[in-house]
Amino acid sequence: MSFATTLSFIATETLDTPDVDDTTSFWRWDFAWDVLPTMLRSFLQVTLLVTVVGTVIAAILGLIIAILIRALPRPLAWVLTWIANFIRMTPIVVQLLVVFYGFVWMEPMTIALLVYGVHYSTYMSEVYRAGIDSVPTGQWEATTALSLPVGRRWRRVIIPQALRSTIPSLGNYAISMFKDTPFLIAISVMEMVTTALEIGGFTYRYIETITIAGLIFLIASYVTAVLVNQLEKRLAYSH
């Protein structure tokens, strides 16, 4: 959701400029219900989209990075590790701005998806690395004794065992991505918190919009935590 779209909504569809009595009351239920659809729309179209797509990119790319660091020759693995550390230790808002101004032909939402996915892949790669290292040595030796092809070794033996211990941490990073989406304001992408502030700035009422944004974050994070917990139990049961 762009700035122009949100500001147009505020100007035409939200409440008219409030009276003095409206701005002095602590909470107005009618105002909260009026702005709720806009807040939900911003959440679904930007916050949730960036989080879901970014998590998918991060989970896949993080696994690839972890495998390559272990499989590549030491000099190449060191270079890849240094690059991953550099990305992980650089603030995500700086990365957004660098890509935004360096690749001006890209859409801001595309930049958001790529930057969040790549940034969090460096965190998830460390989680995968720890999970891979936790696979018992006997399992590695068994795959060698059976002369399993490299691809089958990773796909059938190593990765399934590594995932069982990494799911909780991967879920935590997905939740963290939710909370990092307000940084999208840096590249003019109007996510939910920025929408709340813009509506509050126009109507002089912030308590309702910020509270709604916080509740939506809470519900989304709780649902994510429950789903991750269920997935962890299913993987443990399948073992």
The 10s digit of each residue's pLDDT in 54-95 is 999 999 999 999 999 988 899 999 999 999 999 999 999 999
Domains of the chain, by residue range, sit at 41-238
Q: Is 117 exposed, middle or buried (0-12, 13-18, 19+ CB in 10 A)?
A: buried
Of the pLDDT bands very low, low, confident and very high (cuts 50, 70, 90), residue 3 is very low
51 neighbors 181 (Cβ within 8 angstroms): yes
Q: How far apart are CA 224 and CA 57, in angstroms?
A: 17
**Is residue 239 predicted with pLDDT exceeding 60?**
no
pTM score, whole prediction: 0.84
**Is residue 228 predicted with pLDDT exceeding 80?**
yes
**Is residue 177 predicted with pLDDT exceeding 70?**
yes
**Lowest-pLDDT range, 69-83, 144-158, 159-173?**
144-158
Q: How far apart are CA 161 and CA 141, in angstroms?
A: 15
Helices (H) and strands (E) in the chain, counts: 12, 0
Q: What is the identity of the amino acid at 222?
A: Y
Of the pLDDT bands very low, low, confident and very high (cuts 50, 70, 90), residue 236 is low
**Is residue 235 predicted with pLDDT exceeding 70?**
no
What's the average model confidence in pLDDT over 183-203? 91
What's the pLDDT at 116?
Answer: 97
Higher pLDDT residue, 237 or 180?
180
Higher pLDDT residue, 23 or 137?
137
Given the candidates 1.10.3720.10, 3.40.50.300, 3.90.1150.10, 3.40.50.2300, the CATH classification of the domain at 41-238 is 1.10.3720.10
